[in-house]
Amino acid sequence: MNGRVLIVAGSDSGGGAGIQADIKAVSALNAFAMTAIAALTAQNTTGVYGVLPVDPAFVALQMKVVLEDLGADSIKIGMLANAAVIEAVAGEYEARAINVPLVVDPVMVSKSGHFLLEPDAVQTLRKRLLPHAELVTPNLPEAEALTDIPVRNLDDMRRAAEMIRTFGPKAVLLKGGHLEDERLCDLLLTEDGEEVFEGRRIHTPHTHGTGCTLASAIAAGVAQGLGVRDSVARARAYVDEAIRSAPGFGHGHGPLNHLHTVRPFP
Ligand SMILES: Nc1ncnc2c1ncn2[C@@H]1O[C@H](COP(=O)(O)OP(=O)(O)OP(=O)(O)O)[C@@H](O)[C@H]1O
Ligand SMILES: Cc1ncc(CO)c(N)n1
């Protein structure tokens, strides 16, 4: 059976982003979620109150035992916290000598402005993980950090996506959630060229974990054999409805309704 997704990411105690969002998104799309937890966060809808990275060797061990026994049809990478964890994850992937497609969400800073990756680890992420990636999914600030060029509009996004593709990933999805525009564009750049996915911005504070959710939904599609382009299209529609039907929990940026495919109202 296809559809096995190994998620390597951080835990969000608030349940809206990170591992928790990833498991819900993968499950809601009928794929099978497995996890290697790379960090714990004490987090809710108002902010991140603490980060505890997991020992790098233990992150690698979680990957190893899962891959050796259950196997995976795609691997989703999220928050990795620091350079040592990135090295361990890249090393374990290389040691397995497997060809499982990687969907890399280069998580750096939370919506509330807290560092989820030590700033000096950005170059490690670029050099050690992007060359293995089937798809990398930066938001605007992450694209800026990876390329060192300002990314404020669709033309900038094109330029940045081209540059990020030279770092080695087969495809780049540059997410436009942070654009200051009513229209909301995500730009997909693959070896076949570019595709702009346009949507309407939903006016709501409840967008905690949109990036994690999107990347996991894409990884589910890739694991199910949909291909990157169709996985992105399905994942965008899934996230859109998850934002629209968000339950409104918490006092800050609330979580999405990940389970709308199972029950329309939370
Ligand atoms: N207000 C919104 N209305 C509709 N779609 C949105 C909205 N905000 C984000 N999205 C979509 O959600 C997806 C994630 O984009 P975004 O740029 O917010 O990622 P992100 O910053 O990595 O998210 P996070 O760090 O909160 O997990 C994209 O497909 C984007 O178009
Ligand atoms: C654990 C975790 N991963 C990723 C994000 C980015 O949304 C977050 N806020 N928390």
Predicted confidence (pLDDT) at residue 265 exceeds the cutoff of 80 = no
- Which ligand places an atom closest to the C-alpha of 79? 2
pLDDT mean across residues, the chain = 96
The predicted structure's pLDDT at residue 93: 97
266, part of any domain: no
| pLDDT tens per residue across span 173-217 | 999 988 887 789 999 999 999 999 999 899 999 999 999 999 999
Question: Which helix (H) or strand (E) segment is 196 a member of?
Answer: strand 193-200
Ligand 1 binding pocket includes 212 (Cβ within 6 Å): yes
Check: CB of residue 126 under 8 Å from CB of residue 146: yes
Q: Mean pLDDT across the stretch 14-27?
A: 98
Check: CB of residue 4 under 8 Å from CB of residue 34: yes
Q: What is the C-alpha separation between 127 and 251, in angstroms, rounded?
A: 38
Q: How far is the CA of 200 from the centre of ligand 1 (A)?
A: 11
The predicted structure's pLDDT at residue 181: 78
Atom index in ligand 2 nearest the CA of residue 208 equals 7
The predicted structure's pLDDT at residue 266: 61
164, part of any domain: yes
CATH number of the domain within which 51 lies:
3.40.1190.20
| pLDDT tens per residue across span 59-71 | 999 999 999 999 9
Number of structural domains, the chain? Answer: 1
Q: How far is the CA of 266 from the centre of ligand 1 (A)?
A: 20
Q: Mean pLDDT across the stretch 105-134?
A: 95
Q: What is the C-alpha separation between 259 and 140, in angstroms, rounded?
A: 27
Q: Mean pLDDT across the stretch 93-104?
A: 93
166, part of any domain: yes
Domain of 150 in residue numbering reads as: 4-261
- Ligand 2, atom 6: closest residue by C-alpha: 110
25, part of any domain: yes
Q: Quote the ipTM score.
A: 0.97
210, part of any domain: yes
Ligand 2 binding pocket includes 137 (Cβ within 6 Å): no
Instruction: Give residue 118's pLDDT band: very low, low, confident or very high (50, 70, 90).
Output: very high
Predicted confidence (pLDDT) at residue 112 exceeds the cutoff of 90 = no
Ligand 1 binding pocket includes 177 (Cβ within 6 Å): yes
Q: Which DSSP letter does residue 180 get? A: S
